[in-house]
Amino acid sequence: MGKVVVVTSGKGGVGKTTSTAALGAALAQTGLKVALIDFDVGLRNLDLVMGAERRVVFDLVNVTQGAAKLSQALIRDKRIETLYLLPASQTRDKDALTEEGVAHVVGALREKFDYVLCDSPAGIERGAQLAMRFADEAVIVTNPEVSSVRDSDRVIGLLDSKTVKAENGESVGKHVLITRYDATRASRGEMLGIDDVLEILSTPLLGIIPESQAVLRASNVGTPVTLAEPANAAARAYFDAAKRLQGEELPMVLQAEKRRFFDRLLGRMAA
């Protein structure tokens, strides 16, 4: 039986989809069988970030409604053969997803895969609640910024009340993944620090993803950053996070961008 992990945040644009792709690829690169499900019905993007946008035939809604088999809708990654994607539908409305349908799909994937990563839509409405509904673990993607931290707190509240685990008196394993972190700005007191975020959310840390150009470059070309630029600081941080998700205990080192003196100089001037 595989683990179901929801990647969620409340706030949009903090890096849920990017993180789902990067963590999924990092896990699959170790040989684990990984399925990624895009729950953002109507606004799918995981297919694009994974570079599979031209290979979508069937989607999550088709499968939940019985119009396609799960095996027909799953897209196998061209680079990592243990990595699969179940795309969201682009056209139908959000109510097309039913709890029974999602239960069936997640249940079937859990049988066949080691990890099922559910990429949640933004918000705290139905779609987001369905994405977290059957989760064993949750990755709460948070930017060190007030609105993101507040929304993460709301989502943590939902994870503790609206999931199957919570309703059965158990609890979803929660982990905060801080993305777009800029150590220099945090040390100057311009940005919330890691300790601030953790103290406020009182949830353990899965990883700190430094702000990096490589993340955008990876999205641009449709390859998870852990696959496109594995040596990059953000990619290394995702690899560490993937290991912690599997229960490994690693020291929390802040991965730093290896920048040359000249880049640094230019960066300073631009900032």
Partner 1 sequence: MRLFDFFRRRRSAPVARERLKVLLAYERANRNLPDLVAVLREEILAVITRHVRVRQDDVRVTMDRGDTKSRLAIDIRIPNGATIAGAF
Site for partner 1, rule CB under 8 A: 145-146, 149-150, 153-154, 157, 186, 188-193, 196, 200
For the bound state, the minimum distance from the C-beta of residue 154 to partner 1, rounded and expressed in Å, comes to: 8
Question: Given the complex with partner 1, which of 202 and 246 has the nearer CB atom?
Answer: 202
Question: Given the complex with partner 1, which of 117 and 172 has the nearer CB atom?
Answer: 172
* One-letter amino acid for residue 187 of the chain: S
Distance CA 7, CA 20 (A): 6
How many beta carbons lie within 10 A of that of residue 214, not counting itself? 18
For the bound state, the minimum distance from the C-beta of residue 181 to partner 1, rounded and expressed in Å, comes to: 12
Question: Given the complex with partner 1, which of 115 and 181 has the nearer CB atom?
Answer: 181
For the bound state, the minimum distance from the C-beta of residue 18 to partner 1, rounded and expressed in Å, comes to: 24
Contacts of 88 (CB under 8 A, 6+ apart): 38, 39, 40, 41, 42, 43, 44, 46, 59, 60, 61
Question: Given the complex with partner 1, which of 103 and 200 has the nearer CB atom?
Answer: 200
* One-letter amino acid for residue 28 of the chain: A
Distance CA 24, CA 225 (A): 11
Q: Do strands 173-181 and 137-142 pair parallel, antiparallel, or not at all (unpaired)?
A: parallel
For the bound state, the minimum distance from the C-beta of residue 192 to partner 1, rounded and expressed in Å, comes to: 5
What is the helix (H) or strand (E) element at residue 135, kind and residue range?
none
Question: Given the complex with partner 1, which of 32 and 140 has the nearer CB atom?
Answer: 140
For the bound state, the minimum distance from the C-beta of residue 186 to partner 1, rounded and expressed in Å, comes to: 7
